[in-house]
Chains A and B, each alone.
Chain A
Amino acid sequence: MKILRFIVILFSASIVLAACEQGVDGDGPAPYSSRYKALPSEATILKGATVLTGTGERLDNADVVMDGGKIIAVGPGLDAASMTVVDASGMWITPGVIDVHSHLGVYASPRVNAHSDGNEATAPNTAEVWAEHSVWPQDPGFVTALAGGVTSLQILPGSANLFGGRGVTLKNVPGQSVQEMKFPGAPHGLKMACGENPKRVYGNRGTAPSTRMGNVAGYRSAWIAAEDYRDKMAAAKKGQGDAPMRDLQLETLVGVLDGEILVHNHCYRADEMAVMLDIAKEFGYKISAFHHAVEAYKVAEMLRDNDTCAAIWADWYGFKMEAFDGIRENAAILDRAGTCTIMHSDDAIGIQRLNQESAKVIGAAARVGIDIAPERAVRWFTSNAAKALGIADVTGTLEPGKMADVTLWSGNPFSVYTKAERVYIDGALIYDRQNPAVNPVTDFSLGTSALHGGAQ
């Protein structure tokens, strides 16, 4: 058994290594690639819990076995020999929480101007910037999010621009640099923004765009330039003409056209989502998710038919005109239509309780006779989120072979009284509410009285 485990560890180490080497260009790891290394873990069985697998299943009195950083087995009465046993009776287990829309690190706490690194609001197209180059790993919000069960999250640039720049998906582990947090192999995102924000920011300066039609002209012009750049690069490779000088902005856009970078589109109104889908059609790219999407419920079938997710808040509304029609049943109507529904935060407090936000939707749906079972709602902040981030093949559900990103809850996660008790990332116990001495503390939080989501 010992030897077996040794082999498993070696095996998982080689996976991490392989991930580090993604993008290798002959002489070592590519710049900016992930240097994430899973923390040490031990073979562990969580016994006797209610398990929501993230696949839509609920298993009562079931066990979850993790070894070598992976989920080994999920089910009732599993063999616990020579493993660390955690009595999880009365508790619930879900895949680790995934937030597709966070600004942790780029709008870090404390929210002083010096930490305002999320919006390169100097031009409507800044597809060349990468959010990861703004991430401050010492943001205390990473640790409080961990206490809320969050194991992976996408950090996005802000929404001032039509093209805000690249988003980065992180493992929610402490790192000295963002590279140590980068989710191995996760694709980049491209943040795009519809509506009021770009037209307000640039319109107030007397520059384009100042209208929604100006926004759309801005997107289309940029995609035309990207197509031209892509074609010239391809031609040069075939020996037809010189390659244009490398252009970071166009490189990002071509990454989208080539399907390597996923579009995350801030968009509130139903009619604007319809226009954005037409732009995607014109240029042959896919929109992975509309974010905020407070009117997504008005076009649930359209989003479903385009295989585009809606990443939303439970109940934010009314703070601006394009958010006036927000309703708590948004997720319920989307989910009923079979649209990929995601609960997102966009907020350092909200990210700590995506389970509670989902509970609000369950309550609102119950009010009109729609029953949403926990095993269904849990997908909103696990498997569906993983799908939108392009990491669903490795995380987001509790299935053998997937990363052991797991949250153990004190009870039903949709109860306001429930808290994340333990959080595992790649099988390593990163957070233990009952043993705060072992939990991470950011440099910034040292010496303060209130740490880690209150688990001191």
Chain B
Amino acid sequence: MRTTLRLTAALLAFAAATASAQTTAVIGATVHTVGPDGTLENATILIIDGRIAAVGTNVQVPAAADVIDASGKIVTPGLFSPMGQLGLSEVGAVAGTNDAVQRGDDFSAGFDVADAYNRRSVIIPISRIEGITRALIAPRAGRPDEEGHSSRVLSGLGSVVQLGDSGDYLTKRGATIVANLGETGSAVAAGSRAAAIQQLRAALADALDYRQNKAAVDRGDWREYSLSRADLEALISVLEGDRSMVFNANRASDIEVVIELAAEFSIAAIIIGGAEAWMLADELAAAKVSVIIDGTANLPGNFDRINARLESGGILAAAGVRVAFGAGAQTHQARNITQSAGNAVANGMDWDDALEAITLAPAQMYGVDSGLGSIEVGKAADLVIWGADPLELTSYPEQVFIQGESISMQSRQTLLRDRYLQTDTDKPPAFRN
């Protein structure tokens, strides 16, 4: 038994080592492309140099290709964690391993956590062997420290990262800016959510003004702004549509404010939390505001979430709102976006919409969907081979590819598992390596 397992592990390792070969074909699977091709039965995916070169039921496999027989399996795009602190937080309660919260007046919109990203974090293999191939990593608001230094209404820049071993780990630096409304905003502003909204509005107005009067600002011949120039520069690309803005908001009234701000400043707006977003589904769809929700959160954790419900995902998607899951399942539990999506399906969401919500939708939200998020020719070959329905918690990835590379399916947790599964030895655990 043990020998067989080891042998399998060795074969997998061999497969991983040779996966840098240029051409790979995954054949025979049911492929959920999450693209225009929909779901294809008994399909072939051809990967050349990390990109999808072909997908379909009538694809010629080159003689030199490494062929992976996925008959009877399911292939989906790699999963995308739409918010969290992967690589920015190793152990939640160990301060030195956390880099996502900054306090004080030095930084705001321009605070860039990408410089702190640790692509060697042990949390990353734990996440990617469950199918997560890309993630948005972002700063977040924290409680005031002992000296009373507070986080800001604008937490700073979030970036898209890929969780593979090679290539540029930063897919898109500064893909978005995180803003805090609602109770979080109230806590970091002056004790009122109105103060948070006014600070945000002032920051956006300042950025607009700064963009139009840079020359005068350079001459020192212009008014003071509420933010530093670095922060204003960061905001300009929001105003110009180059980066989105993620708003922490749950209460319907705060979501209405986001809809207003999005229209007023032409912001590609994303709401995270969105407990009461379903109440404004049509308005959000009309305003093209996306929503990142938690598919299992149905309790009023606070007064912002009095009307939280399990049907949110289905209601929003049916109204035409772009939905992602990841308001609850984040960072260490980024892998549980499948559970969030599965519960949304159990409560009325279309299965294909739910799969899109954990693959393509976040890529669209952060403006990286031209190269990611679905199984389409030209896109990065981020793929997951599943034994069964990916939203079922009893199923699991058999192999994950990131940019065409077959990753090691090992993590710190599988090492612990394998050590303590061993019973055919008298060796103490420390010697079972």
Contact = CB atoms under 8 A, between A and B. Distances in A.
A363 B396 contact: yes
B393 A356 contact: yes
A320 interface: yes
Interface string A284-306: 00000000000001100000000
8 contacts: A320-B91, A326-B413, A349-B296, A363-B393, A416-B391, A450-B309, A453-B298, A454-B347
Interface of B: 1, 5, 90-94, 123, 279, 296-303, 305-311, 328, 332-333, 336, 339, 342-343, 345-347, 391-396, 413, 416-418, 420-421, 429
Interface stretch (A68-76, A109-117, A176-184, A221-229): A109-117
Contact of B299 (A140, A367, A456): A140
A133 to B, nearest CB: 23
Contacts of A112: 302-303
Interface in A141-175: 141, 144
B242 to A, nearest CB: 34
B118 to A, nearest CB: 14
Residue from B306, B346, B394, B416 having most chain A Cβ neighbours under 10 A: B394
Contact of B309 (A352, A364, A454): A454
Contacts of A450: 298, 307-311
Nearest to B348: A454
Nearest to B344: A416
A352 B91 CA distance: 27
Contact of B420 (A298, A324, A326, A416): A298
A356 B413 CA distance: 20
A318 B127 CA distance: 12
A416 B343 contact: yes
Contact of B417 (A141, A327, A349, A415): A327
Contacts of B393: 356, 359-360, 362-363, 414, 416
A449 interface: yes
Given A111-B302, A418-B346, 7 more contacts: A321-B93, A321-B94, A329-B421, A352-B298, A359-B392, A416-B393, A449-B279
A297 B420 contact: yes
A318 B93 CA distance: 8
A321 B90 CA distance: 10
Size category of the binding interface on chain A: 35 or more
Question: Which of B298, B306, B336, B391 lies at the interface centre, i.e. has the most chain A CB atoms within 10 A of its CB?
Answer: B298
Given A348-B299, A368-B421, A369-B5, A448 B306 contact: yes
B416 A327 contact: yes
A109 B332 contact: no
A109 B299 contact: yes
Contact of A320 (B92, B299, B342, B417): B92
A301 B5 CA distance: 23
Contacts of A349: 296-299, 328
B350 to A, nearest CB: 13
A92 to B, nearest CB: 15
A110 B183 CA distance: 13
Given A356-B393, A362-B394, A454 B420 contact: no
A369 B8 CA distance: 12
A414 B92 contact: no
Given A140-B299, A453-B298, A448 B307 contact: yes
Given A319-B332, A448-B306, A454 B392 contact: no
Contacts of B308: 450
Given A319-B92, A416-B343, A325 B299 contact: no
Interface in A320-377: 320-321, 324-329, 333, 348-349, 352-353, 356, 359-360, 362-364, 366-369
A419 B298 contact: no
B306 A318 contact: no
A318 B421 contact: no
A329 to B, nearest CB: 5
A333 B420 CA distance: 8
A328 B342 CA distance: 19
Contacts of A454: 298, 309-311, 347
Contact of A363 (B302, B346, B395, B421): B395
Return the 3 tightest CB-CB contacts between A and B, nearest first. A450-B309, A416-B342, A454-B310
A181 B235 CA distance: 54
Contacts of B306: 110, 448
Nearest to B413: A327
A416 B299 contact: no
Contacts of B346: 416-419
A315 interface: yes
